Amino acid sequence: MDLITTATSTDESERAASVAVLPVGSFEQHGAHLPLLTDTIVACAIAKAVAERYDLFLLPPVTISCSHEHAAWRGTVSISATTLAAVVVDIATSLRESGIDQLAVINGHGGNYALANVVQEANVAGPRMTLFPARADWDEARLAAGLHSTAHQDMHAGEIEVSLLLHVAPEVVRDGFQHADHVADDRRHLLTRGMGGYTTSGVIGLPSHATAAKGKAVLEDLVRSFADHYGLLPGPKA
């Protein structure tokens, strides 16, 4: 399970990539069967795969983000939306100072709403930043992988996350996911009540349907769909 790049400055000078890839995860509860680091592992797996496929500059992950809806569970740690936005903006600024003007933010946590505003603002004068995967990218990957659940049903620690971790980091998946399904389709007050208002286990989804093969198919389809995002950013393409 590789969370960071081991490239040297010389490696990156030779690569001369015009686009950097920043994985943004979280540190939050994922039931009893997945680690607190789940979203970071997912973001890193996607970021590493797209960086390798498109020969981009891979950055280390932001590992703590906006997980306030999970505050009822011990181990969850958050920073404010303002802080997260500032971190990404500062990273983008630093990259520009070193000659890399485009940034792909790979978001592994759905609660990082602030990232959408950061990307919108960055693109006012023209495309410089993209946020990936978008909802449509996840939906297409679910379809391509033949997942049993929908994105709405499978919100957290469910089929797609367990499948991805079974594929990229099976050693961190604990037994018990086969019996941890929990359905809570009406979550209209999630922002007010938090996850604790809809689940006692921390799970909302159908992890029992997860397989490593589905995780592999999801990741492969995301790498394919990243091409559209990459194509929107100016600069030389590999």
Mean pLDDT on 66-94: 98
34-70 pLDDT, tens digit per residue, is: 999 999 999 999 999 999 999 999 999 999 999 999 9
C-beta separation of 156 from 30 below 8 A: yes
Token pair belonging to 141: 């990957």
Handedness of CA 166, 171, 173, 175 (dihedral sign): positive
**Is the model's pTM score more than 0.85?**
yes
At 1, the pLDDT band (50, 70, 90 cuts) reads low
Q: Is 94 exposed, middle or buried (0-12, 13-18, 19+ CB in 10 A)?
A: exposed
Confidence of residue 116 (pLDDT cuts 50, 70, 90): very high
Averaged pLDDT score across all residues of the chain:
96
pLDDT in tens, 118-158: 999 999 999 999 999 999 999 999 999 999 999 999 999 99
pLDDT above 80: residue 83? yes
